A and B are shown apart, each in its own frame.
Chain A
Amino acid sequence: MLNTLLSGDYPRSRVLTGILLAILVGLAFAPFLFPGAAAINTAAKVCIFIVLVASYDLLLGYTGIVSFAHTMFFGIGGYGVGLGLYAFGASWGVIALGILLALLVGVVLAFLIGLLSLRVRAIFYAMITLAVASAFLILATQFSEYTGGEDGRSFSVPPALRPGFRLFEAPVFGTVINGRILAYYLVFAAAVTLFLLALRVVNSPFGRVLQAIRENDMRAEALGYRVVYYRTVANCLAAGMAVLAGAMSAIWLRYTGPDTTLSFAIMLDILLMVVIGGMGTLYGAVVGATLFIVAQNYLQKLMGTAAAATEGLPLLPKLLHPDRWLLVLGILFVLSVYFFPTGIVGRLRGKSR
């Protein structure tokens, strides 16, 4: 059973298993364990980013393609659901239709970009996706009569997911089961399903071919695998998964805008999460996303105290200013590319062997 669920890809390290179980339990019971709106928000964000980062790892870690357009697909999902709900009112049918349309647009777009540039080398693809993603961001902000421009769109979700909705009259374990918690569990269930699906993909024969391409594309081609075909399919799969992550994000936030889905800052965040967590293993996505988002919230506080403690010294308080948390993670990122190219997960796995 477990073997089928995980597709035979176990964490293979006691420490890693512990961490992953802790994350799973933490996310599964987040509304009961950590009361308060901020905590559940963080948990939902972790779920969404696990899917997004896992889908990016499919490209970067497994196939060796660097794409900077991943937020574009994330945004397509967000806008697909968001604009649908905004225009046609809150119903499940609209959500389904929005997701379907967004998937179609996202996959076709990924296919076209791939067709144009995947025949060439990694560097080409990276530059072209960067340009296309920026153009998409600008288009999304410019056509404000449809997309809401810089402000984005707020919309309402179906009644069962609204805060006013009660599943039971009485609270369960001291927590009122309202629509927000149902929405959280919707996001959580989607995240688990998509993650296990991704695990299935990378451990299938198809996933093995992707890894072969990453290691040596000429050799893979020589062995008879059409590299372009595999790269394009991987690209479309990753795009589709990112679209779904975007849809989850829209349903959870009840808002879609360029800053939450399309901005380049999010693209950098994804990159940091993948690399710090561990490229080429999907568990890296879980660890990376959780660590990053928790750090985003708590490292800032820590740095705030550190900055206050070093008050009066030259430069140090400025370096430790809470807004500079990305500096710390950036340095961590550079160091991990050099010294731990397999990230945290690779390290943990390496030790246990």
Chain B
Amino acid sequence: MTVAPAPATTPDALPAIKHDYLPILLPVALSALALPFVGNPTTWVTLTVAALAMGMMIFVIASGLTLVFGLMDVLNFGHGAFIAVGAYLALSVLGLLSGWVQVDALGWNLMALGLAVSVAMIGTGLLGWAFERVIVKPVYGQHLKQILITMGGLIVAEQLIHVIWGGDQKAMALPTALRGAVLIGDVAIEKFRILAVAVGVVVFVAMLVVLNRTRIGLLIRAGVENAEMVEALGYRIRRLFVGVFAVGSALAGLGGVMWALYRETLTAAIGGDVMVLVFIVIIIGGLGSVGGCFIGAILVAMMANYTAFLLPKVALASNILLMVAILMWRPQGLYPVAKR
């Protein structure tokens, strides 16, 4: 399929930046709506915190994917492979550092975790770079082939994980000091969830700062808006794209580590379960939009957690309904990206 370059409509004067706060209210409204159904405020707080933690993990994974799509119109169905590879790399590192993991000292635990996360992110970042060069590059601009080829990449990567780490389910134990929960009043909040929320917020803020306050961020945003124009101005958008792809893959690796620690078990198919939620998130958020992705992730996680408590059988189906409802309201997602 050849995509004809869309005629660029250039307004005469720069329009004033419009802030659209409506979608931000959605998670608040959803959580308020859930309160009377859940009934017990303590349970509600626990569920909401769990939802925030899960939402942050989904956001970390989805943000890279949505950026890559926004920048280069490439949707990587093989994103799940980076989740799994990141988790497995961390598993190996944590296995080597078992002494640091098992000792009941937050400092050592965090150091082990930090090291594991670094290895996972560097590993998946490099893998993402290679993936882009070998798998994705030859099929730019051909959606059908992109979907097929990245799916094929996913199959191969999953099989290679079986070859390297074995096919059996692995236990991924949390470091000792991160187990259990802290009591705030009546509410028990798991320590790991606090960490997950913190990591997610840091990633989100860092992303906003990079995108809005740095030169590279400016180029990325410009590339999302109109890639040809950026190229015409003399910037190599392809090189930028490879970088974003690698960073997006590294973020998927980070998300994979967090997700595996959250679930405390690990199989090669770990990516598949999350990817369904991730796709829903980026559709809800508006393909290519980081802010939309953040809100979408929180919404999806809230929906998943509340319905898992209220009507456990329909947890995922409720998210499909959420997606349908949002697409009826805004067919391009919460924050539509201009040209798409």
Contact = CB atoms under 8 A, between A and B. Distances in A.
Say whether A and B bind each other: yes
A75 to B, nearest CB: 15
A143 B316 CA distance: 13
Contact of B163 (A123, A327, A341): A327
Nearest to B2: A216
B105 interface: no
Which among B145, B146, B152, B320 has the highest number of chain A CB atoms within 10 Å?
B152
B96 interface: no
A306 interface: no
26 contacts: A116-B324, A122-B1, A122-B144, A123-B147, A126-B147, A127-B75, A127-B279, A127-B283, A130-B276, A130-B279, A132-B320, A135-B317, A138-B315, A138-B316, A142-B313, A268-B151, A271-B148, A324-B163, A327-B156, A330-B156, A333-B148, A333-B155, A334-B149, A334-B153, A334-B156, A337-B139
Contacts of A334: 135, 149, 152-153, 156
Interface residues on A, range: 35 or more
Nearest to A134: B276
A25 interface: no
A108 interface: no
Contact of A131 (B138, B153, B163, B323): B323
Majority SS at the chain A contact face: helix
Given A218-B4, A271-B148, 5 more contacts: A124-B283, A126-B75, A135-B320, A139-B316, A333-B155
A107 interface: no
Contact of A333 (B143, B152, B162, B314): B152
Contact of A216 (B1, B145, B146, B312): B1
A335 to B, nearest CB: 9
A241 B69 CA distance: 33
Contacts of A14: none
B160 interface: yes
Contacts of A268: 151, 155
Interface string B294-318: 0000000000000000001111110
A123 B340 CA distance: 12
Interface of B: 1-2, 4, 75, 77, 135, 138-139, 143-149, 151-153, 155-156, 159-160, 162-163, 167, 272, 275-276, 279-280, 282-283, 287, 312-317, 319-320, 323-324, 327, 331
A326 B319 contact: no
Contacts of B283: 124, 127-128, 131
B143 to A, nearest CB: 5
Contacts of A323: 162, 167
A331 interface: yes
A337 B152 contact: yes
B154 to A, nearest CB: 8
Contacts of B275: 130
B149 A122 contact: no
A120 to B, nearest CB: 8
B309 to A, nearest CB: 15
B310 to A, nearest CB: 14
A257 interface: no
B316 A135 contact: yes
B55 to A, nearest CB: 17
B316 A330 contact: no
Contact of B143 (A121, A139, A264, A271): A121
